[in-house]
Amino acid sequence: MGFFDKLRAEFVDIVEWVDDSRHTLVWRFPRYHNQIKNGAELIVRPGQLAVFVHRGELADVFEPGHYQLATDNLPILSTLQGWKHGFDSAFKAEVYFVNTTKITDLKWGTPNPIMMRDADFGPIRLRAFGTYVLRASDPRALLTELVGTDSQFEVDEISELMRSIIATSMADILGEAKIAALDLAANYQELSDQLRLAVIKRIDDEYGLDVPQLFIVNISLPEEVEKAIDTRSSMGVIGDLGKFQQFQMGKAMLTAAENPAGGGASEGLGMGMGFAMANQMVNAHPFASGGATPPPPPPVQSAWHLAKDGQTQGPYSLPQLSQAIAAGQVSPGTFAWTQGMPAWTPFEQVPQLAVAGSPPPPPPPGM
């Protein structure tokens, strides 16, 4: 290789960036110690901007196109270089390519629950998550505030910053909107638009970034609140509690008939439910024979009801319920209620039923 060939190899004559990644925001052309050749070609592809930086100062910006670098299309750089005799020699400058395409499939979420006051539930905690699209809008602000001297700047480097900004904006919007928790799902689109504008306001001028799209995918309540809502919905679906009890008694009778090995307790429950069903049928069809006086009603016994997992059973008489508890057919945590009690109470805490659930005393010595 001759001297002039070696000298020409020190100069860069084509400046371009072929991006094979989807999450790179800024890439610096690897000039190293090479100089850009006089009349070199600059290729800026669609979705890119090329920014020339000379000694730490932002110079010329090129939009997509094919350029031959000369004095007439490098006015700022020419001024910074201070060429007194024209642009007739190689020059040194850093070239940054900025990706202006939309970077999609970015996710955000609230790392901690958002506290808010709800009209139905009082103070509650909400979590939210969704997706957003990011795009570089101002290469000068982006290079100055975020990139600095990095040779390559990925979107992952600002993902934590973006999540914090979105979460903070989300808390502000929910606090100002004062929408009931049960009505939030009907307002996802409106809340998403407000959230996007709030985020753009915080990042556009300062960081040179834009959020063309932002979506709220879900706003969730705490698990215990969701279970309470499910229980409330189940009770609403049941409707007529009396008809539901009749249906439950009929199912229990069929189950007892199909399981004859259930023991005396199941037989007692089946008989009790059968008597209750028969009494309801008799009440529905009273005696109508010529003036015959019906027998007096049996003594009124207290009717007991059981509830577990949002479902109720009963009524049962006290002997029937005590026998079932003693046989272990009523699981712990089941609530019981009868006329006169202020609220549902675990059957272990009801004095009339606690005795039935306690184990028998040990036999006396010598037996």
Report pLDDT digits (tens) over 163-198. 999 999 999 998 888 888 888 889 999 999 999 999
pLDDT tens readout for residues 306-322 = 888 778 887 888 888 78
Global pTM reads 0.58
CA proximity to 145, closest of 53, 75, 208: 208
Tally Cβ neighbours within 10 Å of residue 174. Answer: 20
Q: So what's the pLDDT on residue 8?
A: 46
Answer whether residue 214 shows pLDDT above 80. yes
Residue range 320-363, pLDDT digits in tens: 878 888 877 788 888 888 887 888 888 888 887 776 555 555 66
Q: What is the pLDDT of residue 289?
A: 46
Question: Is 169 in a helix, a strand, or coil?
Answer: helix
pLDDT beyond 50 at 7: no
Beta strands across the sheet bearing 48-54: 57-62, 48-54, 94-99, 24-28, 152-154
CB 87 within 8 A of CB 74: yes
Q: How many residues does the chain have?
A: 367
Q: Where are the domains of the chain?
A: 3-99, 103-226, 240-284+302-357
Q: What angle do CA 189, 192, 198 make, to 5 degrees?
A: 145
Pick 32 or 226 by higher pLDDT: 226
pLDDT score at 1: 46
Report CA-CA distances (Å) from 198 to 24, 125, 136, 195: 25, 22, 17, 5
CA 156 – CA 25 distance, rounded (Å): 10
Contacts of 198 (CB under 8 A, 6+ apart): 169, 172, 173
Query: Mean of the per-residue pLDDT values for the chain?
Result: 79
Q: Write down the CATH superfamily of domain 103-226.
A: Band 7 domain (3.30.479.30)
Q: Measure the CA–CA gap between 14 and 9, rounded to whole angstroms.
A: 12
